[in-house]
Structure 1
């Protein structure tokens, strides 16, 4: 590995816009390129556009019903 290559910081793609971003301590928004991209990503999670695969979560009513059935000895 050359000296020049060793001193270059790692570059990653911004998860929002795919722009190359230097992974350095001075980049307060990493892995994003900017505050704007960071907030756009947060907004996508907040409005549930982004999701983690898996079973859907139970709501409180379903949990209460499951507990009542278990207390009565039903499955």
Structure 2
């Protein structure tokens, strides 16, 4: 017999079964609260970027953005 996967909702900590349509959230409301936190900058990825190609691309993008802002 297969075990059912269950996690805690990241927003309200309610136990949620894998078969729930909003999994891993318990509801659409909690999903939207979480999305709002990402959109407002409450959540941040704290690991520094290690890929040299990506760092170079970001530097070029920032330089272009600053030039556009000055125009």
TM-score normalised by structure 1 residue count: 0.60
- Determine which structure has the larger helix proportion and give its number: 2
Q: Give TM-score, length-normalised by structure 2.
A: 0.63
Number of equivalenced pairs? 56
Larger radius of gyration: 1
Segments of structure 2 that go 5 or more residues without pairing to the other structure are 50-57, 65-71
RMSD over aligned Cα atoms? 2.4
**Is residue 40 of structure 2 the alignment partner of residue 41 of structure 1?**
no
Structure 1 residues without counterparts, runs of 5 or longer = 1-5, 65-75
Task: Return structure 1 stretches of 4+ with deviation > 6 angstroms.
Answer: none
Q: Please state how far the C-alpha of 1:50 moved relative to its aligned partner.
A: 0.8
